[in-house]
Chain A
């Protein structure tokens, strides 16, 4: 237990100390809010689909969680190449505890990032429909964070350097974001795109947050939670298995 806690705490301290990383990671969501939100807002409203900003913000929160969570895989590659990982692997603790501490830390950081984006969204005119449900969206964000942190860590166990991870960002993370329900309503998507988005876990994550923040849902809470819960469990098991087989 204390092992998990101290490794979790380490991730949090590292996050809070890297101001540039926090600010850097907020630039992109803010850009998306302003560009997409104000750019498409008028057309969206004219098409009778309502307030685009309220629709978009949960998608941007999902995007920022996705990017932050996956990049905790980079932390693992960093620790592996520059040594710190060895300090934990040589210690009399189980690999499972190390994996769990790291993953919980990474997921907490991604959740914090999502909460900051939610805070920023008030500047561009976002208003939640209920304060209570806005508070419930925080644990929902944590669930999504956990899913993608486990995914990022699982991938990173198989990577030896940073170049490979850049490919993951381009060929996994970007498609996950753009080919999901984050930016566009799934109801009016063309069939192919809709099918792709249906197999994209981010669609369910965004749908869950959107239900809580903007009171519109495509899949419904039960399906969102079922898909996210099952996939998170699977990725945590897969990730801890792959992590236990790391050799340095």
Chain B
């Protein structure tokens, strides 16, 4: 029997009068690579936040590995790993210390901790840099370390919110190689958002397109291009969501992000 890793039913999230996520439902079966696409402000990040217990839904139900994130918060949290849109490493600690801290937070038994950290850091090719402070790492290295960290506690699902943003093609390809390997070896379900359509087309088994808080359509690349009578996923995406540019006003987090990028230039 096929097991669903993520089950979402009639999920709604409102911010005052604004409906960010408007009654969406979808399921992601075990071992699938699922891409969640949409223009800026479509509701992608709000959905990921609700799936990962960071935000309470206004209504609707979520099951993560069979657990309700609101009622069995810790069980749900142990079931997934997450790579956030912005780096969430401690720059003043070494790569190894960041991994160690994570393994304590997730209560990975001490006797297997070192081995698991070593295996994953070797996978992302950072083991020789394990004692370097993270602040000396490039953007790509940080992202690779975050992926290794997200996989550390043997999650069933890994969430990645625009994981390849700002990375060069080499790093992007490497990253997907690691994730595909873990997807095959440990049967990890992958849920990711991206703005790179060719990437989604290449990697994902299933794609859902969200706009204005609603899922417009979902299916394989083939199904989506057939549905819209287009040749590529990008054309299908544009025909479904229109080509108007979505202006988002910068919030505090964006401003700080810009400031941080300015400061962290070496």
User: Which of A11-19, A146-154, A191-199, A213-221 binds B?
Assistant: A11-19
Interface pair A247/B88, CB less than 8 Å apart: no
Interface pair A91/B93, CB less than 8 Å apart: no
A94 → chain B closest CB, angstroms: 8
A53→B241 CA distance, assembly (Å): 73
**What's the A-B contact tally at a CB cutoff of 8 Å?**
76
A136→B105 CA distance, assembly (Å): 34
B193 → chain A closest CB, angstroms: 16
A105→B104 CA distance, assembly (Å): 16
A3 within 8 A of B: yes
Interface pair A10/B93, CB less than 8 Å apart: yes
Q: Which residues of chain A have C-beta atoms less than 8 A from B84's C-beta?
A: 83, 86
Which residue in A3, A14, A89 is a CB contact (below 8 Å) of B104? A3
Residues of B48-68 at the interface with A, using a CB-CB cut-off of 8 Å, are 52-55
Interface pair A84/B90, CB less than 8 Å apart: yes
Which residue in B73, B88, B252, B253 is a CB contact (below 8 Å) of A87? B88
Interface pair B89/A83, CB less than 8 Å apart: yes
A248 within 8 A of B: yes
A193→B84 CA distance, assembly (Å): 51
Given A6-B105, A90-B77, A92-B77, A247 contacting B54 (CB threshold 8 A) = yes
A2→B75 CA distance, assembly (Å): 18
Interface membership of chain B positions 16-52, coded 1 if the CB is closer than 8 angstroms to chain A and 0 otherwise: 0000000000000000000000000000000000001
A2→B257 CA distance, assembly (Å): 31
Residues of A46-97 at the interface with B, using a CB-CB cut-off of 8 Å, are 81-93
Interface pair A81/B92, CB less than 8 Å apart: no
B47 → chain A closest CB, angstroms: 15
Q: Which residues of chain B have C-beta atoms less than 8 A from A88's C-beta?
A: 105
Interface pair B55/A247, CB less than 8 Å apart: yes
A14→B91 CA distance, assembly (Å): 9
A87→B106 CA distance, assembly (Å): 11
Interface pair B54/A17, CB less than 8 Å apart: no
Interface pair B252/A6, CB less than 8 Å apart: no
B131 within 8 A of A: no
Interface pair B105/A82, CB less than 8 Å apart: no
Q: Which residues of chain B have C-beta atoms less than 8 A from A161's C-beta?
A: 252, 255-256
Given A88-B105, A90-B82, A92-B77, A82 contacting B256 (CB threshold 8 A) = yes
Q: Which residues of chain B have C-beta atoms less than 8 A from A247's C-beta?
A: 54-55
Q: Which residues of chain A have C-beta atoms less than 8 A from B88's C-beta?
A: 83-87
Sample of 10 further A-B pairs with CB below 8 A, known A2-B104, A89-B54, A91-B77: A3-B104, A5-B104, A10-B90, A13-B93, A82-B260, A90-B53, A90-B77, A91-B105, A91-B106, A93-B74
A-B contact pairs, 16 of them (CB 8 A): A2-B104, A6-B101, A10-B90, A81-B253, A81-B260, A82-B91, A82-B260, A83-B89, A85-B88, A86-B54, A90-B52, A92-B77, A93-B74, A161-B255, A161-B256, A248-B54
